[in-house]
Structure 1
Amino acid sequence: MEIRIVAFDHPDAAKLTAEVQQEYVRRYGNEDETPVAVAEFAPPQGLFLVGYLDGVPVASGGWRTHEGGAVELKRMYVVKSARGRGVARAMLAELERTAQAAGAVRVVLETGTKQPEAIALYLSSDYHEIPAFGLYGDLVESRCYGKNLARD
């Protein structure tokens, strides 16, 4: 998979973001209403990535600055046709690598119980449950995870 840095409002990023929003509608009944702004995913305060297989956008994910030297992952998504091929794991690794290169010491994220594949990915990638945060932090379905990034 080729992973490219793109603007959050790049057409491929927008397409994948719209698809992940529809995935949230299918699973939870509504889109993720967490406030996000294009500028939050632009260096140096953030980054947005799109993964391509044979020139076709199949995965996305971004990070934005969070408190305490951390970054928050947002809009991790893999299209259905590319699932089960290690694409999400590769995207997660690149998000972590770029966040660490930008000076982040920790990664945090919020997901939900109706995304068991995401939870399994994070747990198998050394993420641990952390106190709830964000717009959905008080919902029973919400799960928040964090991971300290290795320092050289």
Structure 2
Amino acid sequence: MTTWTLAPEAFDSSDASALRREYYDEVASRYWQRSATAEEIDQGLSGDGAEQLTPPTGQFVVGRYGTKAAACGGVLMLDAERAELTRVFLRRAFRGRRGAGILLETLESEARKLGARWMVLNTRLDLIEARKLYVRNGYAEIPAYCSGPYMEIWYGKEL
């Protein structure tokens, strides 16, 4: 039986980099309603702050289904007690195999290790599947804690 294995990994490892590229491609392509170009993906990943997803400021996690890199996500400490969930992604071929819930549990555990008592996140209204995932896993809508062009709804959860 194939199982999920999730563990912290450098945000710039080959598997993590490939997953981050696919994440950006998917969210950008949905937003623009067309395929993102390689140049647009490169530009989006350049200076995206992923280097902060390492202790003590954060953590990046890669999930494998069997031996295949299939999922990723990060937590970023916003202050002493709040962590932000970011870059949550499952490759399409691995969706529906309970990996998303395991990924969230792992990211929440990593946030606790960094001292977080609350997890927050922001997302877009059109990312309906992600929003359903967060609510299904105990996240509730909260007031905006930040602002930006791709931030339309905010969620939080006590850890």
Q: What's the TM-score, normalizing by structure 2? A: 0.84
Letter of the structure 1 residue corresponding to residue 51 of structure 2: A
**What percent identity do the matched residue pairs reach?**
33
CA RMSD of aligned residues (A): 2.1
d(CA) in 2 for partners of 1:135, 1:13: 27
Report what 1:144 is aligned to: 154
Assess if the C-alpha contact under 8 Å between 1:49 and 1:61 holds in 2.
yes
Q: SS in structure 1 opposite 2:110? A: helix
Once the two structures are TM-superposed, the CA of residue 95 in structure 1 deviates from its matched residue by 0.4
Match of 1:116 in 2: 128
Task: Give the counterpart of 1:13 among 5, 12, 16.
Answer: 16
Runs ≥4 residues deviating over 4 A = 30-35
- Displacement of 1:9 in angstroms is 1.1
Gapped regions of structure 2 (runs ≥ 5): none
Tell me, in whole angstroms, the C-alpha distance in 2 between the residues paired with 1:74 and 1:103: 17
Q: Secondary structure at the match of 2:52?
A: helix
Give the drift of 1:38. Answer: 3.7
Deviations 1:119-151, CA, capped at 9 Å, x for gaps: 111111111111224343x66x711101111xx
| Matched position secondary structure for 1:67 | coil
Residue-pair matches, total: 147
Task: Check whether the contact 2:80–2:116 (CA below 8 A) recurs between aligned residues.
Answer: no
AA aligned opposite 1:100: R
**SS across alignment from 1:94:** helix
Please tell me whether the aligned partners of residues 24 and 44 of structure 2 are also in contact (alpha carbons under 8 angstroms): no
TM-score scaled by length of structure 1? 0.87
